[in-house]
Amino acid sequence: MANPQFTCTVAVRHLPEQSDPAAQRFAFAYTVTIRNSGDVTAQLVARHWVITDARNHVEEVRGLAVVGHQPVLKPGETFDYTSWAQIGTPQGTMRGTFFCMTEDAWPFDAEVPEFGLTIASALH
């Protein structure tokens, strides 16, 4: 039996040039690495992000592709992309799911574990 699986990791950095603390806008870039850790070729089709700030304001983002791409990954291959998000507090979280499909048209979800959106100075 085939085992479709994508494993996702994320690196985050604050974007001070895109942020405006006086207007309660804090921007963060995130780079996602998606690895086909399964044993069949599969394609990333769509995304769903849940973005939560420190006041528990939640924004959900859904759409086809990631930065205009729907990568097809063979077992062991990776795809990296960078995007960004903006929240109303200096701290928050993001988590997500990628809707994927094997080349035999079997759907599966790849989870992106929750990660922090945090300005280092906000931790002190």
- 48, two tokens: 């769903």
Q: Please enumerate in sequence order all residues whose Cβ is within 8 A of that of 17, keeping only pairs 6 or more positions apart, or say none.
A: none
Q: What is the pTM of this model?
A: 0.93
3 state DSSP class of 112: strand
What does each of the 124 residues of the chain score in pLDDT, given as a tens digit?
789 999 999 999 999 999 999 999 999 999 999 999 999 999 999 999 999 999 999 999 999 999 999 999 999 999 999 999 999 999 999 999 999 999 999 999 999 999 999 997 665 4
What values do phi and psi take at 21, rounded to 5? Answer: -55, -35
DSSP state of 56: -
Q: Which residue segments constitute the domains of the chain, with CATH numbers given?
A: 6-123 (2.60.40.1470)
